[in-house]
Amino acid sequence: MDLNSESTIEQLNEEMHMARSIGAQGFPSLILKSNKLAKAEETKSRALKNAQWQNIPYDYNDASVTLRRL
């Protein structure tokens, strides 16, 4: 794979756009995706489209910060 190829750069831009759209604020980020069904008749594909993304704070020195949010 050529790291400077147009396809690699395009893929990187898509990944960065997706990360920003779900609330990533840097690297690394911990994002929790919740796809609870709003209604029993909702399809799985619709539930995935309606997923809620939540940025989870973390502390490299204290795991309890992350665990409290989970």
Render pLDDT for 4-14 as a digit per residue (tens, 0 to 9): 899 999 999 99
Assign 34 to helix, strand or coil: strand
Q: How far apart are the C-alpha atoms of 49 and 43, rounded to whole Å?
A: 10
Burial class (CB in 10 A: 0-12, 13-18, 19+), 19: middle
Secondary structure of 4-44 in HEC code, one letter for each residue: CCHHHHHHHHHHHHHHHHCCCCCCCCCEEEECCCCCCCCCH
Look at the pTM and tell me if it is higher than 0.75.
no
Per-position pLDDT tens, the chain of length 70: 688 899 999 999 998 888 888 888 777 888 877 765 555 555 555 555 566 777 787 788 888 888 887 7
